[in-house]
A and B are shown apart, each in its own frame.
Chain A
Amino acid sequence: MNVPRPGGGEIVALSFLLAFLLSAIPLPGWLDHFQPDWVVMVLIYWCMALPHRIGIGVGWLVGLLLDVARGALLGQHALALAVVAYLTLQAYRRIRVVPPWQQTFSILIFLLIKQFLVFWISGVIGYPPRDWWYLAPALGGIAMWPLLFVILRDTRRYFQIS
């Protein structure tokens, strides 16, 4: 009776758009090191909430756009985001049942894997990271995760996207 409607695609797209905007805005001073990977976090959320619709392919495409936006090698973020989407799809059943603050542990691991992949590829083409600051966005990311989760969940419920 309650057949899931395939609507809500524009809401998902809009959330990715806002994530792109947020990560392009520079933060003041040292805070900028901790600028969360909004796009990756939004991707993880949608992979968890709509695993039958958002997956590896979407992650890859979003990553490709991220490559263009950051001037990185084409495919660098695409690879990392596809892997993150894959991991989320494998683990979403256990992550989404626990409260947001407990989810941060899993999210931290996903964000760290993403950073490792991106900077590993950078290292391969001759731009190795010079210090440990490149892991800071993952910390900034988990600090914002509960808030992001609640906002996106309420948005999804309001628009009844499933």
Chain B
Amino acid sequence: MFTVNPTATLRLGLWVILSIAIMTVDHRYRYLDGVRDVLSTAIYPLQYLARLPNDVRTWLAKNLVGRDVLLEENARLHEKQIFLNAQLQKLITLEAENRRLRSLLESAVNTPEPVLLAELLAVDFDPYRHHILLNRGRRHSVYEGEPVLDQHGIVGQIIRVDPFTSTAILITDPNHALPIQIDRTGVRTLALGTGNFQELELPHIPNNEDVKVGDLLVTSGLGGRFPRGYPVAKVVKVEFDPGSPFAHIVARPLAALDRIREVMLLENKTDMPKSSAPAMVEPSTPPHSP
């Protein structure tokens, strides 16, 4: 049967104790960030290599298209450009008017934030955590808590920065909460992640509140981490249960969280002095269970 080697058992015990020790330290404190930095730099070439076949395929698909396809696409983009320009003209006057009104009210003027483009590294993660790995890191002056969005809406925020990469938590992660506002009525609340890419929960809205299916949710800017007024989700389900004090409201994120390839990092450092608290705590994350 098993020929148990006592020294092997002893060694296993030591390694297990060491694992538990560093897991505890990594989970509770931030002393091991340096170690993670070094290891993640060592492993970066691997992640780059793993992405290479995919990149080559995309590159080939981009470069081996016919002339007619390109011409057609060009025409379509041209049309869209004209259309967008027309809309933009309206927006410019609106923005000027808004700024004038805000200065009349003596409130802070919204200035557009600088944006950094980042790509997803095609790396598999734990499927029950909605974390993504981006190809920008401390070297590109990414910082912890930086908002991440795509062209449709808010995607998440950065929770860990390594020298060449960074990890972002998506708004649908079960441990993420986002301060939002219903655009139509101005009601402020929190949108909690559910672990499902298509669903956010709004658990703190009373039964008698005015919420309809199709309502747009935007960031409220409270908490200081996300800038104000960016679209987040659309309400898809509203259920009023007379037996419970709160309505059951489900919203669908506007950003295609399970299909994104490119995201934007929004520099939003101006609002608040950077706190030394860990990133997760800020937008009212539920406390970790012991």
B50 at interface by CB-CB < 8 Å: yes
B167 at interface by CB-CB < 8 Å: yes
A68 to B22 CA separation, bound complex (whole angstroms): 13
| In the complex, chain A residues whose CB is within 8 Å of the CB of B42 | 65
Q: How large is the interface on B (under 10, 10 to 19, 20 to 34, 35 or more residues)?
A: 35 or more
CB atoms of A68 and B23 under 8 A apart: no
Partner pick for B16 among A20, A79, A127, A129, CB 8 A cutoff: A79
Count of A-B contacts judged by CB separation below 8 Å: 126
CB atoms of A125 and B128 under 8 A apart: no
CB atoms of A82 and B2 under 8 A apart: no
CB atoms of A89 and B8 under 8 A apart: yes
| In the complex, chain B residues whose CB is within 8 Å of the CB of A55 | 8, 11
| In the complex, chain B residues whose CB is within 8 Å of the CB of A20 | 43, 46, 50
If the complex has contacts A56-B15, A122-B128, are A74 and B47 also in contact, measured as CB distance less than 8 A?
Answer: no
| In the complex, chain B residues whose CB is within 8 Å of the CB of A90 | 2-5, 8
A126 to B40 CA separation, bound complex (whole angstroms): 24
A146 at interface by CB-CB < 8 Å: no
A64 at interface by CB-CB < 8 Å: yes
A97 at interface by CB-CB < 8 Å: no
Q: How large is the interface on A (under 10, 10 to 19, 20 to 34, 35 or more residues)?
A: 35 or more
B129 at interface by CB-CB < 8 Å: yes
CB atoms of B19 and A70 under 8 A apart: no
CB atoms of A21 and B22 under 8 A apart: no
If the complex has contacts A90-B3, A126-B175, are A25 and B22 also in contact, measured as CB distance less than 8 A?
Answer: no
Partner pick for A73 among B23, B124, B174, CB 8 A cutoff: B23
CB atoms of A68 and B19 under 8 A apart: no
Besides A24-B47, A74-B25, 6 more A-B contacts (Cβ < 8 Å) are A26-B122, A60-B15, A79-B20, A86-B9, A125-B27, A126-B175
Q: Closest 3 interchain pairs by CB?
A: A24-B50, A79-B19, A75-B23
Q: List 26 A-B contacts (CB under 8 A).
A: A17-B46, A20-B46, A20-B50, A21-B49, A23-B124, A24-B46, A24-B124, A56-B11, A56-B12, A56-B15, A65-B42, A65-B43, A69-B47, A70-B123, A71-B126, A74-B23, A74-B36, A75-B20, A75-B22, A76-B19, A79-B19, A86-B8, A86-B9, A119-B128, A125-B288, A130-B195
